[in-house]
Amino acid sequence: MKMYKKWSLILVGLLAFGGSYSCSKGPDSTPPDDDTNVPPKAEHYPGLSVSASGQLLLNGEPYRAIGVNYFNAFIRTLDDGQQNNTSYRTGLAYLKERNIPFIRFAINGYWPKNWDRYLNNRDAYFQQLDAFVAAAEEFGIGLIPSFFWHTPTVPDLVGEPVNRWGDTGSKTHELMQKFIRDVVVRYRDSPAIWGWEQGNEVNLLVDLPGDNDNLPPIVPELGTPTTRSKEDKLYTADLLVMMRAFAREVRKYDGTRIVITGNAIQRPAARNLWKNQSWTKDTRSQFIEMLGVQNPDPIDVLCTHVYPASAEEGYFSDASVGVEGLIRASMEAAGELKKPLFLGEWGAQEAKYGTETREKFMELLEAIEDNEVPLSAMWVFDYPPHDTEEGINVSPDNGPREYMLQEIRKVNERMRK
């Protein structure tokens, strides 16, 4: 879901955290570029990879599947008093029973305050993450961890403006590198890890006009600064730096698993915003071009998120299309670039579509199957804030939406034949 929708939802449940932050604090202050004790990486790791021809592979074999977003499956354990919360086990078991093969999830806190466990009690953080990864191994569920879900958080943690994501010599990149090393080296041998994702929908933040418009949220009690400026805005140049740096850092420790941007579907005017600071809609060919621009090498998959509302925004200037046309164009770009498509979020909200929800859901699911999208993940599983506010959550507690998992199960079974 678009980040501005998520801020208010996540804010409600995360107000109870405290502490101060510095990338040098905590029990482990090893410099991020000190790999003295890191064993050499293996020739190949388990999980998803990409062939030379651009085909998605799972453990070396061609693969297609639909999973789910289990956004807060792990980070719920970072809430105060929730260190022993293993409710995710119930969710993983539920997904296993329905042959849902993998989840996409946040691997650390949304707001700066929620990084306290990792920064100031690293052993406790990894004890909890170890248990989570072990549970995924036990249930045979693949994991796609998203490292930096809320883009401003890392710069906020180190006291820098958000545009320092575009500076490889910044403290922002220093903390990024350290966290990547700690996580990737620790879990790269796990068969549960299927890939590595940078963050969530960063591309929606870039190239927005106005110095003082479209700034990140200010919530000081959750660790943000008390003011924002034009330096907290991002541009395509910054996105390219941050995505390339993320991928290169991952590749230092894991040379084979897929590396993902986590991007949403680009704005209808993405190229014109980049080149002209204009909201003029892009053409279909420009849309395809921007998929490549926003998922730069060495990122090895194309990532986008598609909802019914995506088509309602209006794509393209030279030919109006619905969700099927957006997915078809994205698959065309994937073929041209030899990067398999990951439809990292898709779904239909009852709060918006009411009795038409099932029809909207099936339209997306059928487009995924008909266009042979290699990898996709429904939004969202077991995330209670979206039960009523969005009407899009699927969990053991809301049976009326169980059909969504059952329909996904049928498609997964057909794709395995």
pLDDT of the chain, 417 residues: tens digit per residue:
654 344 444 443 433 333 333 333 333 445 656 787 899 999 999 999 999 999 999 999 999 999 999 999 999 999 999 999 999 999 999 999 999 999 999 999 999 999 999 999 999 999 999 999 999 999 999 999 999 999 999 999 999 999 999 999 999 999 999 999 999 999 999 999 999 999 999 999 999 999 889 999 999 999 999 999 999 999 999 999 999 999 999 999 999 999 999 999 999 999 999 999 999 999 999 999 999 999 999 999 999 999 999 999 999 999 999 999 999 999 999 999 999 999 999 999 999 999 999 999 999 999 999 999 999 999 999 999 999 889 999 998 778 899 999 999 999 999 998
pTM: 0.93
In DSSP terms, which residues pair with 343 in a beta bridge?
A: 304, 376
Question: Under DSSP, is residue 104 helix (H, G, I), strand (E, B) or coil?
Answer: strand
Do the domain assignments include residue 253? yes
- How many domains are there within the chain? 1
Does any domain span residue 331? yes
- Which domain CATH number covers 65? 3.20.20.80
Contact of 401 with 390, CB cutoff 8 Å: no
What integer pLDDT is reported at residue 400 of this predicted model? Answer: 86
Q: Is the distance from CB of 228 to CB of 268 less than 8 angstroms?
A: no
Token pair 């296993």 is at which residue? Answer: 96
Q: What is the pLDDT of residue 396?
A: 84
Residue 23 is assigned to a structural domain of this protein: no
Domain membership flag for residue 22:
no
| Cα gap 66→199, rounded to integer Å | 20
What pLDDT score was predicted for residue 19?
36
Q: Answer whether residue 118 is part of any domain.
A: yes
Residue 127 lies inside a defined structural domain of this protein = yes
**Residue 39, domain member (yes or no):** no
Structural domain includes residue 161: yes
pLDDT (0 to 100) of residue 370: 98
| Cβ atoms of residues 254 and 45 within 8 Å | yes
- Report the distance separating Cα 333 and Cα 216, nearest Å: 31
Dihedrals φ, ψ of 223, to 5°?
Answer: 105, 0
Instruction: Give the range of the structural domain holding residue 142, as residue numbers without chain letter.
Output: 3-14+58-415
d(CA 216, CA 212): 10
